[in-house]
Structure 1
Amino acid sequence: MCGVATGLFADKSAPTVGRRCLQRCCTCGSGPGDASLVHEGTITEQTLEPRHTMRLSRFFTETPLSLGEHELPEAQAHYISRVLRMTEGDALQLFDGSGLEFRGTLLEVGKKRVRVQLTESFAGQVESGLRIHLGQGLSRGERMDWAIQKATELGVSEITPIISERCEVRLKDERAEKRQAHWQQIAISACEQCGRSVVPVIHPPMPLADWIRLTEADLKLVLHPVAEPLTSHAKPASLAFLIGPEGGLNEAEVDQAQTAGFHAARLGPRVLRTETAPVVALSVAQQLWGDF
């Protein structure tokens, strides 16, 4: 139904008007607010409730939140005032990574200063009960950004960029710190988009040998094209995934991981790109043992 009266129930005496289809129409396939399509209907006293409520703009802040007034950082003030063009009285939602969500309204909106009044708090409901630590082989540019963004959307708890023999990227000191901050911001933005209330930790890049020695989890898996399928393992409470870089892990590194308690696992018969592998692995893990 498009929210207009049908011929069977319409008041024949009511004037006929054109109305825009407010949701996808079962007969015409039009989308919400399609300005090119107008349906003929009749005015009735009954107003149908929308199927979904409008989603609030949602922002992360590093400052611990509580009910009451808060001033947002300058970068967020610029985004709210100049990009989103929000104004005083508009509703919004904030989270600080603690697992709580806060709703409120804008009290003051300026180019460099935004104040909010938070009036409601509640626990976030989208965190998976399966804790996952992803060891992601370090890769170039957008591939690493993509892997971190999608892993965050899929519920990962921690991500450590892994330095292995076939890595084509070498990060030193200040550059490594800048990349870590960049990746952490990608995770924050992904949480703002997907509704997560807890931001995964992006650790500094770490040599493979150190990561497999220090990582603890109920089930530790290294992806390998010749291994048992992921479905052969029992449900864990926590999980660690090791995924190689663009050139993959060499056999010595796989053996090293297995010696440290990792089990080799495969994700089907095809070889996946380094940025595709975490998306598939995390999706399968959430389906088998998590919240899918």
Structure 2
Amino acid sequence: MKKIRLYQNTALSLGNSIELSKDNSHHLNKVLRFPDGKNITIFNGDGFDYDAKVQRLKKITSISIVSKLKNDSESKLNLTLAQGIAKGEKMDFLIQKSIELGVTSIIPMQLERSVVRLKGDRAQKKIEHWQKIANHACEQSGRAVIVNICQPTLLSELLGNQNHNGFVLHHRANISLAQMPEYSSATILIGPEGGLTDQEVADSTNAGFKPLLLGKRVLRTETASLVAIANMQLLWGS
């Protein structure tokens, strides 16, 4: 059986025994039918992996922490994806794959051409759904941090934050990543299915975002995001 990694939102320390969350218990017992007495890996987002022995008592599943190891899977590039909210499963896919590629934060963007509009309870439920996808992606990819899914954000709010090295992707730009200096942190702004409007591009560049061209071909939003992340990680990260 392959090594099992689970995210447990609990303080963890050597020698302690803790009760697994309901979802984790169900996954081990009902989905994996994991044997009692075997070890799994647990992480809580503090950058460490914890080796733990499974101890099952009736309906309660607990684990005993037996060792702790620093996880060095993080990229040296602190990368934020400001992604125009895409429809349906595209956004789920983007979140999952961008986390596998090493982004450190994801900002769902409410842009002019966004078909999906999120407010109130609907927005909160969608964020909770995306956060679960993010947590599972961290489990699967071997990361020991949790990537935060921010609240839906307007462009004016993003541009008002000066603490970023911003890049705005659009097919009329004329500068590629190969022509850029190396950065240790960056924010990528990418439009939804319909792309960014001319005004959004102008507002972004006026706020200091650098226009970025990925190639001669026009890419779909889900392709552009992952290509940009992969190339930045190759050039500046891990």
Partner of residue 127 from structure 1, selected from 37, 57, 74? 74
- Which residue is 1:205 aligned to? 152
Alpha-carbon contact 1:135-1:243 (below 8 Å) kept? yes
Q: What amino acid is the match of 1:101?
A: D
- Corresponding residue for 2:184? 237
**1:146 & 1:215 partners in 2: Cα distance?**
29
Report the Cα offset of residue 158 of structure 1. Answer: 0.6
Contact 1:229 1:267 (C-alpha < 8 Å) held by counterparts? yes
Considering only aligned residues, what root-mean-square deviation do their CA atoms show, in Å? Answer: 1.1
What is the CA–CA distance in structure 2 between the aligned matches of 1:134 and 1:220, rounded to whole Å? 10
Letter aligned with residue 168 of structure 1: V
Following superposition, the deviation at residue 124 of structure 1 comes to 0.7
Q: Residue in 1 aligned with 2:172?
A: 226
Cα distance between partner residues in 1 of 2:153 and 2:139: 27
Provide the residue aligned with 2:21 in structure 1: 73
Is contact 1:81–1:109 with CA below 8 Å preserved after alignment? Answer: no
The corresponding residue for 1:12 is none
Q: Structure 1's 73 and 233: CA in aligned 2 closer, same or farther, altered over 3 A?
A: same
Give the 5 Å matches for 1:1-292: 55-67=2-14, 68-108=16-56, 110=58, 112-214=59-161, 216-217=163-164, 219-227=165-173, 228-291=175-238
Question: Which one-letter code corresponds to 1:117 in the other structure?
Answer: S
| C-alpha separation in 1, matches of 2:18 and 2:87 | 39
The runs of 5 or more residues in structure 2 that have no matched partner are none
- Structure 1 residues 194, 215: CA separation in 2 closer, same or farther (over 3 Å shift)? farther
Q: Distance in 2 between matches of 1:75 and 1:92?
A: 15
Q: TM-score, normalised by structure 1?
A: 0.79
Instruction: Give the superposition deviation at 1:215.
Output: 5.2
- Whether the aligned pair in 2 keeps the contact of 1:104 and 1:120 (CA below 8 Å) is yes
- When residues 109 and 147 of structure 1 are mapped into structure 2, their CA distance, relative to the original with a 3 A threshold, is farther
TM-score when scaled to structure 2? 0.96
Q: Distance in 1 between matches of 2:66 and 2:26?
A: 23
Secondary structure of 1:59's match? Answer: strand
CA deviation after TM superposition for structure 1 residue 172, in Å:
1.5
Give the Å deviation of 1:208.
1.2
Q: Deviation at 1:84?
A: 0.3
Which is greater in Rg? 1
- CA drift of 1:55 comes to 4.0
What do the CA deviations read for 1:25-65 (whole angstroms, capped 9, x no partner)?
Answer: xxxxxxxxxxxxxxxxxxxxxxxxxxxxx641000011121
Alpha-carbon displacement from aligned partner over 1:202-253 (angstroms, at most 9, x marks no partner): 0000111111222522x21000112211211111111000000000001110
Moved over 2 A (4+): none
Alignment size in residue pairs: 236
Return the alpha-carbon distance in structure 2 between the equivalents of residues 139 and 109 of structure 1. 44
| Percent of aligned pairs sharing the same letter | 40
1:276 is paired with a residue whose SS is helix
Query: 1:132-183, CA deviations, whole angstroms, 9 ceiling, x for partnerless residues?
Result: 1110001111011111111100110110000111110111100000000111
Q: Which has the higher contact order (CA 8 A, sep 6+)?
A: 2
